[in-house]
Amino acid sequence: MFDKYVSLGYRNDVQGLRALCSLMIMSFHIWMHKVSGGVDVFFVISGFLMASVLLKSYFISNRYNPMFFWASIARRVFPSAYVVIITTLILSCYILSPSYLSATVDEIIATIFHVENIQLIRKSVDYLASDVPSSPVQQFWALSIQMQFYFILPILLIPLVIVSKKLSSSWPMILVLFFVMICSFVYSIVSSNVTPQASYFNPLARLWEFLFGVAMYLLSVNIKHLNNRGYICLAGLILIFGGALLIPTSFQFPGFIALVPVVGAGLVVLSGVGGQSIVNRLLGNVFLKYLGGISFSVYLWHWPMIVLYKEYFNVDIIGLVNGLGIIASSILLAIITNLIIENNINKIPRSNVYLNILIGVLFFVSGAAATLLVKNNFISIENEINQKWHNASIENLDIRRIKDKFSSVDIPRDELIAARRVLPIPYSIGCHQKGNGIIAKKCSFGDVGSNKKVVLVGGSHALQWLPALRLIAKKHNFEIISISKSSCPFGALESSDNSCKTWNRNVLAEIKKINPILVITNSTRTSAAREYVPREYIGAWHEISSLGIKLIGIRDNPRFSYDVPDCVYKQQESNYYKSCVKQRMNYLSISSPVESYRNIIDEIDLTDWLCNDKLCPVVNDNILMYRDSHHVHLPYVIHLTTVIERKMNILVPKLVGL
């Protein structure tokens, strides 16, 4: 009864569908900038084809060793994938801005180990990485999920096949697969609404799409006759390509809306089983068949072409002619990859499992070795610069106020490479709260154990001042206690999530226990449009004031609409003044908005060291002022130490006496 689980043969129409989807994905990435659903179609096709291969092996050939399957996947995927990865790594080191290189190499490492989707999930919830642009290997998230599916599918199917054989029925296998598919689909809907960015790359939220393809195979082997094949195929194509054009960007994939391309792919796949309509034959024409055969390489090549093109020419929008050039170049590179690599590897017998595994391992080791060498170089640079600034002394540190005229800048490449990784110590020692954490983590610096305790509290815009306060605490023999949480100010905003609000309550309780002589936090909040004092800040200040604790706020810094190290790198050889310097009036008020609250909070205003009367630069005395678009760079904070010390001397002379 299991002899029906046979290979369904080569499907020209499926290859044609792959070709059209690869063209659609490229077009949407270049011009439309929205989800096309093409990747969802690929997932369904993968599930359909892999089910065909595995179930034939299990039911008919009685070959249960998954190594045969995994060796075949390694032989098919690894050579082309690692050639694209290594090429992208090399080009990235020459083309990308230095400030993005470390993050890009991290993603390349994740890609090599086929966990790029997990890396992107981490990136989507990492406050420090949230404004890092898409890397040139981001397209590998889909391959990572496929590899994870290819690993788990044999493990899932083998026990189900064994049980089905013992019971002489396919229903145990069908019911379990259907149950898992439904669970994944429900999870996909829920997670797409709760954490849409992370859900997009989540393998659990995507599993149902592969299993839908498996279901199409199970349905196809049980179909004895299918009417109106052409209409079914046409309906599937309309769902796929019509949905791509008409589904609004507000819909979150891969929730229920992913049913549109998934069902569309299922209809096309199903329509060609056991016979071909004229629509299927058109879909399987010679040109589309060939393009479908290299669509895997086309998909891998197109994304680095887009990202590196934009970076090299410093553009955000790609025109029609240049976009067509990118598509043509991606297809050409895929053809070359196919001729030089894939065709030669295909000459090796598939039955030679160990040789196929060896080929995969060789390409894997080559890619991993090259990437880890580059990564180690970046780590050395970052460690050296971190050590330099974390061991800085307060003596001889000073910086001039912002001048009216700016000279050209020459920031060393290594400084730009490390810019995003030179951070206050709490980030690296585990006492900075992240994500949904609610514990008021704290760490102490300066004269630890002193009866003179000062608490620095707030989000990253408060924590950025710790390097200077730490030096001041060490010099004047008081203990500075840092309590911070990413994207969560002291005084949780109305828009803050529940974890931030709970964390704020826990912070207040911790401050009561510590009973410091001084609390330091942010006094204002800036945005792309204005500077203001949130009413929630004022409520938190009253809480501190009611405890009889002195409060000092540090005025917030400007926030830029672009990555500062990236801008500086691109403009060092041109006109830095025009490209990176912005009008002060667009970022900061003329006078601090805190003036009305002087009865409960004093303020340290560093605006004269961040802007002059009219302009806000990003480099002062040839020191990079910002590590990204809105955080003051640690070396610049350290250079502001004596400025902050003098201002604290005025506000709290008993603590900081000069």
- For residue range 187-213, what is the model confidence (pLDDT) as tens digits? 999 999 888 888 999 999 999 999 999
Is 628 exposed, middle or buried (CB count within 10 Å of its CB: 0-12, 13-18, 19+)?
Answer: buried
Per the document, the length of the chain is: 658
> What is the reported pLDDT for 574?
62
**CA 483 to centroid of chain Cα atoms:** 26
Residue 573: pLDDT band (50, 70, 90) is low
Q: Which of 116-130, 142-156, 187-201, 424-438 bottoms out in mean pLDDT, i.e. has the lowest?
A: 116-130
> What is the reported pLDDT for 119?
92
- In the chain, the percentage of residues whose pLDDT exceeds 90 is 69
> What is the reported pLDDT for 109?
96
Q: For residue range 440-452, list pLDDT tens digits in order.
A: 999 999 999 999 9
Tell me the average pLDDT of the chain: 91
> What is the reported pLDDT for 210?
96
Angle at 223 between CA 219 and CA 226, to 5 degrees: 115
Q: What is the average pLDDT across 3-16?
A: 79
Taken in order of first residue, the domains within the chain and their CATH numbers are 12-374 (no CATH), 401-651 (3.40.50)
The answer on pLDDT for 235 being more than 70 is: yes
The answer on pLDDT for 421 being more than 70 is: yes
Q: What is the DSSP letter of 425?
A: T
Are the CB atoms for 467 and 393 separated by under 8 Å? no
Q: For residue range 374-405, list pLDDT tens digits in order.
A: 999 999 999 999 998 888 777 767 778 887 77
Are the CB atoms for 455 and 511 separated by under 8 Å? yes
The answer on pLDDT for 224 being more than 80 is: no
**CA 224 to centroid of chain Cα atoms:** 46
Are the CB atoms for 453 and 478 separated by under 8 Å? yes
C-alpha dist (Å) from residue 368 to 96, 342, 371? 20, 20, 5
> What is the reported pLDDT for 656?
87
**Residue 484 backbone phi and psi in degrees, to 5:** -145, 160
Long-range contacts from 334-339, C-beta under 8 angstroms, 24+ separation: 334/294, 334/295, 334/297, 334/298, 334/300, 334/301, 335/294, 337/80, 337/83, 337/84, 337/294, 337/297, 337/301, 338/293, 338/294, 338/297
Measured distance CA(337)–CA(531) in Å, rounded: 53
Measured distance CA(654)–CA(159) in Å, rounded: 74
Angle at 221 between CA 217 and CA 222, to 5 degrees: 120
- List the helix and strand counts (H, then E) for the chain: 28, 13
Measured distance CA(294)–CA(392) in Å, rounded: 55
> What is the reported pLDDT for 126?
59
Q: Is the Cα dihedral 31, 32, 33, 36 positive or negative? A: negative
Q: Could you give the 3-state DSSP secondary structure of residue 582?
A: strand
> What is the reported pLDDT for 349?
83
Are the CB atoms for 76 and 337 separated by under 8 Å? no
Longest dimension (CA), the chain: 93
Q: For residue range 274-325, list pLDDT tens digits in order.
A: 778 899 899 999 999 999 999 999 999 999 999 999 999 989 899 999 999 9
pTM: 0.90
The answer on pLDDT for 2 being more than 80 is: no
The answer on pLDDT for 630 being more than 70 is: yes
For residue 567, give every residue at least 6 positions away whose Cβ sits within 8 Å of its Cβ, in sequence order, or none: 560, 579, 580, 618
Rg from Cα positions in the chain: 29
Rounded to the nearest 5 percent, the helix, strand and coil shares of the chain are 60, 5, 30
> What is the reported pLDDT for 140?
95
The answer on pLDDT for 577 being more than 60 is: no
> Structure tokens of 365?
């080791």
> Structure tokens of 488?
């969560």
> What is the reported pLDDT for 131?
65
The answer on pLDDT for 156 being more than 60 is: yes
Is 534 exposed, middle or buried (CB count within 10 Å of its CB: 0-12, 13-18, 19+)?
Answer: middle
Q: What is the average pLDDT across 62-79?
A: 88
DSSP structure string for 368-422: HHHHHHHHHHHHHHHHHHHHHHHT--STT---PPPPSS-------HHHHHHGGG-
> What is the reported pLDDT for 475?
93
Q: For residue range 21-50, list pLDDT tens digits in order.
A: 999 999 999 999 889 999 999 999 999 999
Helix (H) or strand (E) holding 53: helix 38-59
> What is the reported pLDDT for 197?
85
Measured distance CA(501)–CA(507) in Å, rounded: 10
Q: For residue range 449-468, list pLDDT tens digits in order.
A: 999 999 999 999 999 999 99
Are the CB atoms for 322 and 308 separated by under 8 Å? no
Q: Report how far apart the first and last C-alpha atoms of the chain are (Å, whole number).
A: 92
Token look-up 């887009």 returns: 306
- In the chain, the percentage of residues whose pLDDT exceeds 70 is 96
Token look-up 């630069």 returns: 617
**CA 40 to centroid of chain Cα atoms:** 19
